[in-house]
Amino acid sequence: MPDSRIRVLIVDDSAIVRKVLTDALLAEPDIEVVGTAPDPFVARDKILSLHPDVITLDIEMPRMDGVTFLKKLMHYHPLPVIVISSLGISSSRTALEALDAGAIDVLAKPGGPQSVGELRLSLATKIRTAKVARLRVLSSPVSANGSQPIHSQLGRPFPASAVIAIGASTGGTEAIQEVLVGLPQNCPAIVITQHIPAVFSRSFADRLNEVCAIRVREAKDGDKLEPGLALVAPGNFHMLLKGSPGCHRVEVRDGPMVCFQRPAVDVLFHSVALSAGPNATAAILTGMGSDGAQGMIAMKKAGARTIAQDEDSCVVFGMPKEAIRHGAIDRVLPLSAIQNALLAEARR
């Protein structure tokens, strides 16, 4: 009987990190670490000889950095890759560049052997997700500096009370960028929960702010919603919408994980249902798991319009699938159509 375990190759220049990651997976019956490599040159040979299903990849290595190696890998021998990155601002920006280059997900680098307990669940989950993920066909990055936003001169003004809520996980950083790039500067206020580690969320928001015509920033407790502004939930904190139509603020707070996540899409969507009700439009994008489904149900019952990304355009069709299965979705659309749909629904 063939071995059905997920075969993992760990690529990291630190022997300590290689051991920590290997130890974190020892107890997983469906995952096997088939090898480790200290740099991309050794990794290249082991990929050809060991045929791994998933690779974990450090991005700061000698001889060749991880992003350069990732780009070569995705061109010549595409495989699901999970980036392992330290928590510095510069490192998190490089990790986002790796997501641009085709990596499936990013995980904060462990601090030492004591990190194994914290790492075990998240690493194993991300490996299982990566194994079933759809590898993206890479395209040239889009910049708001190149041409006019496609909606900048079109359509009636949006109601001041309109709110757009977006939730995503695996594959979501690129999906959210595609939805936001080209939005007009007068678009409704936007709140976003993306499953992402602490520190990385700041770099994610900053990158979006650079390429979008609208303003994008990591949310702070008490931030006021404004047209043309998108607020991103900070990593490791829940974000909630508070207040009444036309006078909304966000609350950023600690709390237990929901659906194994913090920030959780469900937390945001439930709060939007309560505070914005029929003035809200929501989209649930690519991601593994069920986070967001219950919140979408609450939003639909409150009169909000609800949209889900379709299976063909998702990296992982988990979160949208669960929301659809629960009858919480009005429209199922390819990612390329979601921007227009959100704007059209927000005007209603």
Catalytic residue numbers, as ranges:
169, 195, 291
CA-CA distance, 37 to 84, in Å (whole number)?
14
Contact 284/257 with Cβ under 8 angstroms? no
Calpha distance 154→116 (Å, rounded) = 53
Beta bridge partners of 287: 317
Alpha helices in the chain (DSSP H): 15-25, 40-50, 66-76, 89-100, 116-132, 172-180, 200-211, 265-275, 293-301, 319-325, 335-347
Q: 178-207 as b/e, with b when 16 or more CB fall inside 10 Å?
A: bbbbbbbeebbbbbbbbbbbebbbbbbbbb
User: Which 3-state string (H, E, C) describes 132-158?
Assistant: HCCCCCCCCCCCCCCCCCCCCCCCCCC
| Backbone CA torsion sign across 136, 78, 201, 321 | positive
Q: How far is CA 150 from CA 16, 80, 182, 228, 346, in A?
A: 49, 33, 6, 15, 17
Report the alpha-carbon distance of residue 143 to residue 297 in Å, rounded.
Answer: 35
Rounded Cα gap, residues 223 and 305, in angstroms: 24
> Residue 178 — φ and ψ, nearest 5°?
-65, -35
Cα distance between residue 234 and residue 89, in whole Å: 14
